[in-house]
Amino acid sequence: MVGAEGLHPSTTTAPCEPDPAPGRPPASPPDLDPLSLADLADLTDALPADLAADGDGRPEAPPGGEGAHPPPDDSPHRAGPALPTALVREARAHLGGPYAHAPLPMAPPPHAAQLAHVQRLGEMGWCTWELGTGDAAWSEHVYVIFDRAPGEGPIGLDALAGHVVPADRPDFDRALRQVLAGARAQARFRVRTARGLRVLRAVLDPVTGPDGTARIVNGVVQDITRRAEERLLADALSDAILPRQGPVIDLPGVRAAVRYLPAERATGLGGDWYLACRASRGRVLIAIGDVSGHGRDVIAPMARIRYAVDAFAFTDASPAQILAWLNERIWHSHDDTTATALAGYLDPVAQEFTWAQAGHLPPILAGGGEARLLDAPEGVLLGADAASGYEVARVRLRRGDTLLLYTDGLVERPGRDIDEGLTRTRLAATALTGGDLAAGLDRVIDAVGGTNPADDACLLAVRLPLSLA
């Protein structure tokens, strides 16, 4: 066993926070800056109710008044299986009984200066918890992550759950159960610190005894708060460029749903785009398109085209005129951009769809348990010819009919003819004639082979309700 003086200087070995004495309430987590809570409230799907309801970011007062403290979740008087924190204490009692305050068997790591840089640059550190003695060792940067002075010592494995945001406790408890059973575990969770809410990722490895149960838990903890904030910002910018609509888009007189499947996972954007918005005279403008190329270079021209179409919605220009303006804009950009596009007006009162296309695949009209490809008017690729002209087509719809607009990433696959992809899409579109529109789009995607890893895909379905009411 290596003595305390033999440990790496960036590693602190100390008994972890002791259990509170009988009758004494456990230490409260540090108060939070309310701005920190607001900034990070969206890092998971929903902020826990106890944080959202309390404006100053402090934990809710326990029932029964300020001094009252309910029994902990792992109280022996509570029915049901023991929680992981109780299992930690049971393991300690079985292996070593009360705290022995013994130094942990941790050899001094080589390359100390380099390891310190790794911790700082990677915003991570490592921990060791001895289940038999209750002692723990933290590397220097774990104290930074938890905003804790080294003199306070590490937080015990059983006490760590008290610092975890309640909404994230199930994932944390699952990982703790897993590592105590002798298996590696990973978890992502938020903790309260004096600086505010931090988002952490942890990997826990057990050191097991002959009986297979954990005796020591080694862990690596990384602070991913900055990365989570950057992801939020990227998602916000992405949503500003191409909004991620909910299950159904709210438009006057019609119901619409969209599925956008980008091949570029890092940005969540590509060359495909869609638009469904109000237009003049009670109509709805629906459009879809695809900028030639892949990757991040096509995001800027995609955004310019989409917002140009959006600006034309109330000009009362025909779909052919809209495409002509787009073609002129792209031609004079002198950046070799080309793109396909389809734009049209759906009139829910007249039950008519008026549309034009520029080198784009034709819409599918589904209704009455059937689906067919519409005959496309003449129109060439945007940016291919400055003098291109575009024609207009009209089609009557019945109540309950659905229009499906899509990009080639849905139907084109390596080793498969595009006509086969169109046939599969048309047959699958019959599912759009009734029921949930968003779920119908998911069935179409599954029927044609799922997401396409080689190309973006976008689907826009617009249904004329059975009645205007």
**Segment 264-283 mean pLDDT:** 83
Q: b or e along 265-277 (b: 16 or more beta carbons within 10 Å of the residue's beta carbon)?
A: eeebbbbbbbbbe
What pLDDT sits at residue 71? 44
Which residue in this structure is represented by tokens 């498969």? 416
Give the predicted TM-score (pTM) of the model: 0.60
| 242-463: CATH, from 3.60.40.10, 1.20.1240.10, 3.40.720.10, 1.10.3210.10 | 3.60.40.10
What are the DSSP calls for 411-422, one per residue?
H-BTTB-HHHHH
What pLDDT sits at residue 469? 60
What pLDDT sits at residue 186? 94
- 240 pLDDT more than 80: no
What are the DSSP calls for 44-72, one per residue?
SSS--HHHHH-TT-PPPPPTTSTT--PPP
The distance of Cα 146 from the centroid of its chain, to the nearest Å, equals 25
* Superfamily designation of domain 4-224: PAS domain (3.30.450.20)
**Segment 345-371 mean pLDDT:** 95
Angle value at C-alpha 86, between 80 and 89, nearest 5 degrees: 155
Q: Tell me the domain boundaries of the chain.
A: 4-224, 242-463
Confidence of residue 198 (pLDDT cuts 50, 70, 90): very high
**Segment 160-179 mean pLDDT:** 93
Which residue in this structure is represented by tokens 């084109």? 412
What pLDDT sits at residue 298? 87
CA atoms within 13 A of residue 161's CA, in its CB half-sphere: 22
Which of 4-8, 380-384, 425-429, 452-456 bottoms out in mean pLDDT, i.e. has the lowest?
A: 4-8
**Segment 32-43 mean pLDDT:** 41
Q: Do domains 4-224 and 242-463 have the same CATH topology?
A: no
